[in-house]
Chains A and B, each alone.
Chain A
Amino acid sequence: MSEQVPKPEELVQIDYQPPAKPWMDVPVEFRRGTFCYAGAKKNVEYLGFPNPRDWQPMDEDWKLPPNWREIILEGMRDRLQKFRSFRLFMDICVRCGACADKCHFYLGSGDPKNMPVLRAELIRSIYRRYFTWTGRLFGRLAGARDLTEDVIKEWFYYFYQCTECRRCSVFCPYGIDTAEITMIGRELLNLVGCNINWALEPAANCFRTGNHLGIQPHGFKDSIEFAIDELEDLTGVRVEVPIAKKGAEVLFIMPSADYFASPHYYTLLGYLLLFHQIGLDYTVSPYASEGGNFGLFISHEMMKRLNDKIYREAKRLKVKWLLGGECGHMWRVLHQYMDTMNGPADFLEVPKSPITGTVFEHAKSTKMIHICEFTADLIRHGKIKLDPSRNDHWVVTYHDSCNTSRAMGLLEEPRYILRNVCRNFYEMPENTIREQTFCCGSGSGLGTDENLEARLRGGLPRANAVKYVRDRYGVNLLACICAIDKATLPTLLEYWCPGVEVAGVHELVGNALVVDGEKERTTDLRGQPLRRKEVTANA
């Protein structure tokens, strides 16, 4: 009997060594905190997607349709024929490993299946098995494997642990865009009803009311009016915000978080002050009340359906051109897909600033420009008066959002604005900004709370660079131009790098902007007292 009682030193023995198995044999473990909940039945039904049912990823039985394997393989066949890039990305990878250590999820978790090359292998192994003769003949020897329910579970876990940030693609010598592989993976999963609620619910809401939260027109109007009142309290100036004004020159479209969440809301205050000061003839719309597009994270058809309202509303309101607010993935859709999906917008004019006369030729096709392009142009032409000392309480760094930097190349304009509206600006290290920027770890529909542990792991490389400038220069504010960043970076920094807050670039513009008829500003747009400094650090 006594021999069976372990000795004290045996009690504390821990088997450290992970099992040495080939990656195909390591099953995925759905541990709470690391995955997103399944799409709710009501949302799947509302959007008309296949296989609506009650299920969760930690269930043993995922209730897949009986012919799920045929559906997936047929879906792959269809996409291989339709998208040449997909076939190319399946065939061309030589597994050089250049992308391996570029993914923030891999860097934070150490899980090899988060290496972009291996994440792509999850689907490539199925492609080989069913669509190449080598895979059919040689199976595992050729890197092929059978499509089983465990593979579907693995796809779900890892394709919803990719934020489609495209950092890996910057380093791929063949230009393979792993985000597009993830997109196809998610589309295939969607065919058998395996989707996440945090992408589906906003999409369903957006389809119904025009925005992700499902805010109805009167709620939209209430939010805007609240902002008008608050701006009057803060500045003494009452701005006018036209809602659905027909014949306005510009339709301004922002992400919906700007009018319901913090710190986004202060960015909204910044926009409204700016438009008032320059006398822009613009309108906002409760129908096109969402620049963001969660359809991008589900399927290209869903993205097209949600994007449709933008040109449609521009046509209905008879505006001349479109101006867009601070958002990340919104700009991937607008900049790269909108024109071919729902265009041509030949009823609109090439955007031309009514204040400076600048014609934004680069937007000749989409007819839509980013507010940072618009504001940078105003500053460049000296059309607005700025008092950067009103931002002296902030020591600022700038986070390039993945989509605005890598998908549309918006690198200089936000920095130009920041250097003009604040006096303490410091860059993070070179290999963490601009095209090489690290993702917040929460994009592409993953910014929900049930998977926070995975998000915090994925956000480590970004937080690590912020910590560096916090410790070195005393940075206390991370500026960015993405709504998901504004929602999730405060959480990331609260965990990894306390003492650094998050703000939109146009919140800082609003602070610094000298508005005709304003009262003496004693606070910033958050209501925090200003602390002007006589001598400031080098910008």
Chain B
Amino acid sequence: MASQGEQLVALPQDLREQLLRQWLALALVHYPPQTRRFLVEATDPFRNPAGRIYRETLGVVLEELLGLCNWQRIRGALEELIRLRALLGLKPSEAVGFLAELRRLIGCRVPLESAQSSTLDGRVERLLLEAFDLYLECRERMYQARLNEIRRARFLEERLARRQEAT
């Protein structure tokens, strides 16, 4: 039975790309149609930063989930992806829910043995939990950044007050 750290299934390149495209489409359904097209089609990473994030991070996650499943690499990619999703005004379930669709996508297109299937289930479940953790981390980071900004705006006032207290 393939477990974490072992290759799950080797897919031909074109099938993997098809899966990635479909998964990407599911990730983008919250966007209005004209934006979806732009996010998928504009390939310059600086002209289309959100599209870059989706393409790169989902690519890494898919590769790892079907492959050796390096969780450190998955988490790195997932963090960048969730950082974006956490700002889109989506409910937490909407922000991460599309990740679970991968199971269905693969199930439809790739014949898996029962052991492979259960490994994939386990990996996707963990992926979801990691994504929920990261979503919370991102929201907390945003609130912390907000606090830090307010503190920086009072920088000299605080230092003047401290000096006055000391003297």
Q: What is A's interface to B at a CB cutoff of 8 Å?
A: 12, 14, 16-18, 20, 31, 33-34, 100-101, 106-112, 222-223, 226, 257, 259-263, 265, 429, 431-432, 449, 452-453, 456-457, 460-461, 464-465, 468, 487-488, 490-491, 494-496
Contact = CB atoms under 8 A, between A and B. Distances in A.
A495 B144 CA distance: 9
B146 interface: yes
A18 B90 CA distance: 12
Give the interface SS of chain A, mostly helix, strand, loop or mixed.
helix
Contacts of A460: 49-50, 84
A265 B156 contact: yes
Contact of B155 (A18, A261, A456, A465): A261
Contact of B163 (A226, A468, A488): A226
Given A457-B87, A491-B148, A259 B156 contact: yes
Interface of B: 26, 29-35, 38-39, 42, 44-50, 52-53, 83-84, 87-89, 93-94, 97-98, 100, 138, 141-142, 144-146, 148-150, 152-157, 159-160, 163
Contacts of B93: 12, 14
Nearest to B98: A16
B156 A456 contact: no
Given A226-B163, A491-B146, A494-B141, A453 B155 contact: no
Among the interface residues B30, B89, B144, B148, which one has the most CB atoms of the partner chain A within 10 A? B89
Contacts of A453: 87, 89, 142
Contacts of B42: 101
A109 B88 contact: yes
20 contacts: A16-B98, A18-B31, A33-B89, A106-B35, A107-B50, A226-B160, A257-B153, A259-B156, A261-B152, A262-B152, A263-B152, A429-B46, A449-B146, A456-B142, A461-B46, A464-B49, A468-B46, A490-B148, A494-B145, A494-B148
Given A14-B93, A31-B89, A261 B153 contact: yes
Contact of B146 (A107, A452, A464): A452
Contacts of B154: 260-261
Given A107-B49, A456-B87, A18 B32 contact: yes
A537 B150 CA distance: 36
Contacts of A431: 44, 46-47
B48 A107 contact: yes
B152 A18 contact: no
Nearest to A258: B156
A261 B155 CA distance: 5
Given A260-B155, A453-B87, 17 more contacts: A17-B29, A101-B47, A107-B47, A107-B49, A110-B39, A110-B50, A112-B35, A260-B153, A432-B46, A452-B149, A457-B88, A461-B46, A464-B49, A464-B52, A490-B149, A490-B152, A495-B83
A17 to B, nearest CB: 6
A187 B153 CA distance: 28
Contacts of B39: 110
Contacts of B138: 495
Contacts of B94: 14, 16
B149 A488 contact: yes
B160 A449 contact: no
A453 B87 CA distance: 6
A437 to B, nearest CB: 11
A495 B142 contact: yes
B149 A262 contact: no
A41 B142 CA distance: 30
A180 to B, nearest CB: 24
A292 to B, nearest CB: 14
Contacts of B31: 18, 110
A108 B29 contact: no
A20 B152 CA distance: 44
Contact of B30 (A18, A34, A101, A263): A18
A461 B160 contact: no
A488 B145 CA distance: 10
Nearest to B42: A101
Contacts of A488: 149
B97 A14 contact: yes
A157 B90 CA distance: 18
B121 to A, nearest CB: 14
A495 B141 contact: yes
Contact of B46 (A222, A263, A465): A465
A18 B34 CA distance: 12
A454 to B, nearest CB: 9
Given A431-B47, A456-B142, A112 B159 contact: no
A104 B155 CA distance: 29
Contacts of B150: 449
